Amino acid sequence: MSVELDTIAAIATAPGPAALAVVRVSGRRAGEILNALLGQAAAPPVRAPTLRELQDPANGEVLDQAVVTWYQAPASYTGEDLVEISCHGGRLVPALVLDACLASGARMAEPGEFTRRAYLNGKLDLVQAEAVADLVDAHSRRLHRAAMGQLERGLSERVAALRAALIHVEALLAHHIDFPEEDDAPVPVESVAEEGKGVLRQLEVLLATAPEGTLLREGAVVVLAGRPNTGKSSLYNALLGEERAIVTEEPGTTRDALEAMVQMGGFPFRLVDTAGLRAAEGRVEKLGVEVARRYLARADVVLLCVDVGTGVGEAETEFLGELGSRPIVRVDTKGDLGGDALEDGEGCYAGRVRVSVVTGEGLGELRDLLPRLVFRGLVGSAPDVPVVTRRRQARALAAARDEVGAFVGALDAGVPAEMATTHLRAAETALEEVVGAVSVGEILDAVFKEFCIGK
């Protein structure tokens, strides 16, 4: 199946100073466009990177010396004729090469259009296409691992196995549909229901990875909270390993919230430093406290910083009351100053760590604790366990789970087999949707719009 489409071109690498850049051209006219860029020279051999001089087809001016790779359909990333040009990087050369491609008959690619074509031509399923986007966006080893697993069809194969199991259940039920009056069917209805329950359990196991899996893409929000001057900004910098927040002895220095991505134990965190929790005096600081409140409302975990030897005050208690069930880690800061940690509020904390940015005490413990609090099931799970990383995947899997649940319920309630079996069909369709076997245009648009151009 090859889909008849325009020939598209784009710079596949990030803009800006760089030694190299890659320009991609895909579609029926890719070979023609390559010839235009090579002038009279013969086309390079298929799938063999070849150093060539590129010229401007308009006037024959040499644009660059580049390594050109020529792929013929269907043996290419997109499944179409495809040219990859590794030219010199920077602002100008890739733009000149792209312009030459456009002038020779290509049009600018839309975001994700190369991968979309790969999907349409059966080179990748939808989960694999999403994994490509996750790999490119990944800022943690754990998302990298989940995305590689999906790219290597780990999740797709699990979904295919579940679908095969449902088809097997459907087959077991066939006898009861064909001969509803007979009592001695080869497989009693109760055993069919048991098989259905088995699939239901497996779907639930897979779905259980979704809340943490989607957080792998977004990063868990860790908010540093506490009174001014308790060492929040110092801890923020220490966890980031760089001086991002201003640290001063003057209370109320951090007014806006600072946010940065950081990996802990291979998991992605969005670390947020906020203004202190206190009755602010100045207008700007009041705004800062408001910002802190808003971040706290979105936090996946809160680090409540308290000077060692000081108790939790009214200001903190009031804010913490708004946090609901969010895990709070009590951090006793400035541990090197030698105070004794006070025993207050025990039990309402998900953990307690004494830290010092001077000696480094407690930082490792904190980096170890946070992944366990937020990414619970994923911490220490086997590398080959498939992880659901997208809400789209989770929605389709949840639909399948609901239908299998309804199927089992119907059998238990004595609903006739041919009626119960419609739930199985609906569940199978939902599973096909996960890998995009039955995708409609809207789903594809939603999946590919978040790609960048050239992917």
Q: Which residues of this protein are in contact with ligand GDP, per CB under 6 A?
A: 228-234, 247-249, 253-254, 276, 333-334, 336-337, 356-358
DSSP element (H, E) containing 430: helix 417-435
Q: Which is nearer to ligand GDP, 218 or 281 (CB)?
A: 281
Q: How far is the CB of 254 from Mg ion (least distance, A)?
A: 3
Contact of residue 230 among Mg ion, ligand GDP, none (CB under 5-8 Å per partner type): ligand GDP
Instruction: Find the shortest distance in angstroms from Cβ 245 to Mg ion.
Output: 6
- The item of ligand GDP, Mg ion, none sharing an interface with residue 26, based on CB under 5 to 8 Å by kind, is none
Q: How far is the CB of 347 from ligand GDP (least distance, A)?
A: 25
What track of x and - describes contact with Mg ion for positions 234 through 273 (by CB under 5 A)?
Answer: --------------------x-------------------
- Shorter beta-carbon distance to Mg ion: residue 232 or 401: 232
Q: Which is nearer to ligand GDP, 79 or 362 (CB)?
A: 362
233 binds Mg ion (CB under 5 A): yes
Q: Provide CB contacts within 8 A for 101, sequence distance 6+.
A: 9, 23, 25, 33, 37
The four Cα atoms 132, 138, 144, 148 give a dihedral, to 10 degrees, of 0
Taking the complex as a whole, how short is the minimal distance between the CB of residue 246 and ligand GDP, in angstroms? 7
Tokens of 253: 């220095």
CB 339 within 8 A of CB 308: yes
Q: How far is the CB of 297 from ligand GDP (least distance, A)?
A: 20
Cα Rg of the chain, angstroms: 29
Shortest spacing between CB 314 and ligand GDP, in angstroms: 17
DSSP string, 183-221: S--SS-HHHHHHHHHHHHHHHHHHHTTHHHHHHHHH-EE
* Tally of residues, the chain: 455
Instruction: Pick out residues in 77-96 that bind Mg ion (CB under 5 A).
Output: none
From the CB of 301, what's the least distance to ligand GDP, in Å? 18
Residue with tokens 């309630």: 413
- Token code pair at residue 237: 């910098």
CA distance 429 to 427: 5
Per-residue contact flags (x/-) with Mg ion for residues 189 to 228, judged by CB under 5 A: ----------------------------------------
Of 146, 157, 8, 14, nearest in space to 83 by CA: 8
CB of 369 to Mg ion, least distance (A): 22
174: which 2 tokens?
Answer: 């066939």
**Which of the listed partners (Mg ion, ligand GDP, none) does 358 bind, with a CB threshold of 5 to 8 Å by partner kind?**
ligand GDP
Q: Is residue 304 a contact partner of residue 320, using CB atoms and an 8 Å limit? A: yes
CA pair distance 59, 334, nearest whole angstrom: 69
Residue 336's binding partner, choosing from Mg ion, ligand GDP, none, with beta-carbon cut-off 5 to 8 A by kind? ligand GDP
Sign of CA dihedral 104, 109, 115, 120: negative
Nearest approach in angstroms of CB 205 to ligand GDP is 42
Shortest CB 253 distance to ligand GDP, Å = 6
Q: In the numeric block, which tokens belong to residue 439? A: 């995708």
- If contact means CB under 5 to 8 A according to the sort of partner, which of ligand GDP, Mg ion, none does residue 231 touch? ligand GDP
Residue 65 touches which of ligand GDP, Mg ion, none (Cβ within 5-8 Å per kind):
none
Cβ-count burial 28-40 (b if 16+ within 10 Å, e if not) = ebbbbbbbbbbee
Nearer to Mg ion, 55 or 254 (CB): 254
From the list Mg ion, ligand GDP, none, partner contacted by residue 333 (C-beta under 5 to 8 A by kind): ligand GDP
Strand arrangement of the beta sheet that strand 220-226 belongs to: 258-264, 267-273, 220-226, 301-307, 328-333, 351-354
Helices (H), 121-271: 126-137, 141-151, 154-178, 189-207, 210-218, 232-240
Instruction: Give CA 381 to chain center in angstroms.
Output: 18
Q: Does 121 bind Mg ion (CB under 5 A)?
A: no
Q: How many residues bind Mg ion (CB under 5 A)?
A: 3
Which residue lies nearer to ligand GDP by CB, 302 or 447? 302
Nearer to ligand GDP, 217 or 232 (CB): 232
User: Which of ligand GDP, Mg ion, none binds 229 (CB below 5-8 Å, type-dependent)?
Assistant: ligand GDP
- Does the protein bind Mg ion through residue 333 (CB under 5 A)? no
C-beta of 236 vs 407, nearer to Mg ion? 236
Q: Which residues bind Mg ion (CB under 5 A)?
A: 232-233, 254
